Structure 1
Amino acid sequence: MTSSEPRATPDELRQAVIKAECELDHLFFTRYFFKQRQGIKFRLNWHHFLIADAIQRVIDGQCENLVINVAPGSSKTENAVISFIARGLSLNPNARFLHITSGDDLALLNSQTARDIVQSDEYQALWPLKVADDAKAKKRWNVLVDGKKAGGVYAVSLGGQITGFRAGHMAPGFQGAIILDDIIKADDAYSPAAIKAANRKLLSTVKSRKANPATPVVLIMQRVGENDPTGFIKGGNLPGKWEFLIIPAVIDDAYVATLPERLRSLVISDERDDKGRFSYWPYKEPLGDLLALEAGNGTDPDGKRVSRHVFSS
């Protein structure tokens, strides 16, 4: 006796597998849509798995609030901001994200990139979410559910005005997040006034821009000083339970021993300094370059200013 139901085509089966992998594995989603967008493979390092695992714990409700300290040029924004937003909407089209950075240009670029992913043919083939027609601005956009505005993104600089928007919903399960990415510039590391202003704004934003007290906050940043936003949170100045994921630019065997066992074999430690330390990502950040930066503030290969604090976060 044969079934009257038509069999899935190989392409349909492939799409079903990709969709399942994207919904289960944050790093798979990041890699898949990076390649679709850029036309090249996402270059993997052990720290990408660590960051993706932490983001997944936030989505699963296992981590209430998260701080990720990692150096510039680590693909942190791709993994923990852009993919977090785009994948979060695939998991819950009602999810609302508030994204804040140190400047408008970066906030809008990240928002635009996440929207481009959602509107891409590859994403639409898996999750046919239409972006509202009036969402012309990069600053704020929504997807539609049953023809009505649902989840979406509000992107703004830390000093910008946030009106009529709160992250998350008064509902159970993952409903969105406040995502802060490098909210203070490395150039402000020696400006106590700038750091104090950033911490004050961080406090007021986190308190007033959650639709639900359980809405998670994710802060991704390079360390710029002892009293920077990470230090501010560690000092107990922000409510809620916080977890800290620390990825120094220069690491050693003792640090590697703290990693999940499955990741330790991925760490490359061939080139070491006289203290036995090595680069967290030799392919991208040669040890000699990092040691030169550690000796005094400078800029990384992408031209972004690097604080010495990133080496001992």
Structure 2
Amino acid sequence: MSSSASFVDLPTLEEIRAERARRKAEADRKRLIEHQGEIRARCDSLHGFIGEHWSILEPKRPFKSGWALRAMCKHLEAVTAGRIQFLLMTVPPGMMKSLLLVFWTAWEWGPKARPDLQTLATSYSQANVLRDNLKLRRLVESDRYQALWPIQLRADQNAKGKFENTENGFSEARPFSSMTGGRGDRVKVDDPHSTETAESDTERANAVRIFREGISDRLNDVTTSAIVIIMQRLHAKDVAAVALELDIGFVHLNLPMEFEAERIGEDGKVTGGACRTYVDGELFFEDPRTEEGELLFPERFPAAEVAKLKKAKGSYAWAGQYQQRPSPRDGGIFRREWFKPVSVMPAGPKRTVRAWDVGATEGGGDPSAGVRCTQVGYGEEATYYFTDAKVGQWSPAQFEAQLKLTAAADTTEVTVRLPQDPGAAGKGYVQTLVKKLPGYTVRYEQPTGSKLTRATALATQAEAGNVFILTTGDPMRDAWIEPFLDELCTFPSAAHDDQVDAAADAFNELALGQTSTVALFLSKRNR
């Protein structure tokens, strides 16, 4: 045989690689058969199952675990066991929340012998939820999974948006905006809001409406089917907040990136920092951290990387997305230390405005608020003093009565500022209010720009040290101060922002000299 002929008979590089892959796959199958019992035993827990099958979905990344991931798995296992029906997990980005839900369904179908379970999966992003459904199908169809749990998928329903198995189970992926029409034993909600739209009142309200009107009706059995929501907090009125407000039994696993020994809640109250969950009336889980700043997942997010993330995100985004507290401790655009308490205003020319934000609701919804502010001096030398705030959920008639009583207490030296809603109805209503205040200077204007924009000038002056809180030393008379500061320092993501709106309007009326319609009604005595 010639040398050229022998050279031609040598295998190509591609053939060598294919043969190596074949031999490796064969060796893996032999090991799998040999250790099948041990592997099945490890897969009895969801965490163990993820470890055994991680490389199928993430072949290039090593599996990193920690107590936080085990806690999330523990709560999902309780859903599978029927101990938790409604589960809410609020966790930072990067906690493999999407993959966790993929593995959970595969785990229920295989190791838990529930291939009959029907699952609806949803996210704000159609691309994301389809991506994860494909990952689930790839996992179930893998050689390793099939060798342990030979679940056959139906050929007539095997699309990326929905696939079924021969045991009547299925996994269907839908965008959050299109959840009507389907039902399941499991409804998995993975991030119903996007970071781009959560600040939009319209977009956020639409997501909340879909959750309230659509998600709860998607259950096959209202007594046993489960809803699992896993998300990062983006706003005080997001889906997580509504899920808890509905009080229908959501177990809330709340895992901030950095431990806070004391947390300031969205209601302004200080609570213990350790998350605790209860199942069947007994303590089920407690955050094991005790030291301020302890990290949630140092195995994946070491301290140096967390510091970079925190700096890059800024305090507002960090508080919601990573601390699961959708308002920074020090405020979004306001900080408590900027508002220095004083007992006396300095001498000098003064002007005072009380601005109102009108909710005109009784027993629910947004309250009405009236905030009084005094300017001392003019121009760059001016300083500003907040001296009172009135807040209440009043009906229109009750608000009108409160408006008159407050104006009388303030005296005619105080200008009254009212907002005018757009349209003829808004103009007619503000005219009605003006007529209730004969003898007072009343200014009214249709608000323009976002709430954040309108509050920015006040925040700038407060940070510069030009804004103060006037205290009297009387606890009863000063009772307005803490709620007022609490609302300012959780804006713009607090549940209510009525005092902020009123404070910004009062300040802008004084400082910026906004052009507004003036109505001065003289009393009969002065006519």
Q: 1:49 aligned to 70, 87, 107, which one? A: 70
Quote the residue 1:289 is aligned against: 308
Distance 1:108 1:118 in 2: 15
Of the three residues 147, 167, 171, the one matched with 2:184 is 167
For normalisation by structure 1, the TM-score amounts to 0.79
SS at structure 2 position matched to 1:225: coil
> Conserved in 1, the CA contact under 8 Å of 2:92 and 2:324?
no
Instruction: State the match for 2:212 in structure 1.
Output: 203
SS of 1:279's equivalent in the other structure is coil
**Alignment partners' CA distance in 1, 2:39 and 2:300:** 28
Task: Give yes or no for contact 1:222–1:307 (8 Å, CA) kept in 2.
Answer: no
How far apart are the structure 1 equivalents of 2:142 and 2:92?
A: 30
**Measured at CA, do residues 158 and 258 of structure 1 come closer, stay the same or move farther in structure 2, by a change above 3 Å?**
closer
For 1:1-313, list aligned pairs within 5 A: 12-22=33-43, 24-39=44-59, 40-79=61-100, 81-90=101-110, 91=112, 92-145=114-167, 150-160=168-178, 162-163=180-181, 165-168=182-185, 177-213=186-222, 214-236=224-246, 240-252=248-260, 255=273, 264=288, 276-285=292-301, 286-293=305-312, 295-296=314-315, 308-313=320-325
Q: What secondary structure does 1:187 align onto?
A: coil
CA drift of 1:132 comes to: 0.9
Cα distance in 1, alignment partners of residues 78 and 312 from structure 2: 33
| Distance in 2 separating the partners of 1:45 and 1:10 | 27
**Letter matched to residue 151 of structure 1:** G
- More deviation in 37-46 or 64-73? 37-46
Shift in CA distance, 156/124, structure 1 to aligned 2, threshold 3 Å: same
Shift of 1:161: 5.3
In structure 2, the CA distance between the partners of 1:281 and 1:289, relative to structure 1 (3 Å rule), is: farther
**How much does 1:308 deviate?**
3.2
Tell me how far apart the structure 2 counterparts of residues 136 and 58 of structure 1 sit (CA, whole Å): 27
SS at match of 2:178: coil
Q: Determine the C-alpha separation between the residues in 2 that align with 1:123 and 1:21.
A: 14
Task: Find the counterpart in structure 2 of residue 272 from structure 1.
Answer: none
1:193, distance to aligned residue in structure 2 (A): 1.1
Q: Which residue of 2 aligns with 1:172?
A: none
In the TM superposition, what whole-angstrom CA distance separates every residue of 1:125-147 from its partner, at most 9, and x where no partner exists? 011111111234211110113xx
* Post-superposition offset of 1:185: 0.6
- Provide the rounded CA distance (Å) in 1 between the counterparts of 2:286 and 2:242: 32
User: How far does the alpha carbon of each residue in 1:148-173 deviate from its partner, in whole angstroms, 9 at most, with x for none?
Assistant: xx10111010112543x3102xxxxx
Q: How far apart are residue 263 of structure 1 and its match? A: 7.8
Q: Alignment partner of 2:242: what SS?
A: helix
CA–CA distance in structure 2, aligned partners of residues 262 and 223 of structure 1: 20
Contact 1:295 1:308 in 2 (8 A): no
Higher relative contact order (CA 8 A, sep 6+): 1
In 1, the alpha carbon distance for the partners of 2:228 and 2:78 equals 11
Q: Distance in 2 between matches of 1:85 and 1:297?
A: 34
TM-score by length of 2: 0.48
Structure 2: which amino acid aligns with 1:38?
Answer: E
Instruction: Give the Cα–Cα distance (whole angstroms) in 1 for the partners of residues 131 and 299 of structure 2.
Output: 26
**CA separation of 1:181/1:257 partners in 2, compared to 1, >3 Å: closer, same or farther?**
closer
Shift of 1:58: 0.4
- The CA deviation at 1:82 is 0.5
Which amino acid in structure 2 is aligned with residue 311 of structure 1?
Answer: Q
Whether contact under 8 Å (1:183, 1:198) holds in the other structure is yes
Deviations, residues 92-149 of structure 1 (Å, cap 9, x unaligned): 111000001001100101101011100000000011111111234211110113xxxx
- Unpaired segments of 5 or more residues in structure 1? 1-8, 169-176, 270-275, 299-305
Q: Is the Cα contact below 8 Å between 1:294 and 1:308 reproduced in 2?
A: no
State the alpha-carbon separation in 2 of the partners of residues 124 and 67 from structure 1: 31
Query: 1:287 deviation in Å?
Result: 3.1
RMSD: 2.6
Give 1:281 shift: 2.4
C-alpha distance in structure 2 between counterparts of 1:186 and 1:307, whole Å: 13
1:249·1:290 contact (CA, 8 Å) conserved in 2? Answer: no
SS in 1 for 2:119: strand
Instruction: Report if aligned partners of 2:117, 2:170 keep a CA contact under 8 Å in 1.
Output: yes
Larger Rg computed on CA atoms: 2
1:180 Cα deviation from its structure 2 partner = 0.2
Q: How big is the shift at 1:311?
A: 1.3
How many residue pairs get matched?
Answer: 273
Conserved? CA contact 1:156–1:162, under 8 Å: no
SS of the counterpart of 1:133? strand
CA distance in 2, matches of 1:32, 1:93: 19
**Contact 2:109–2:115 (Cα < 8 Å) also in 1:** yes
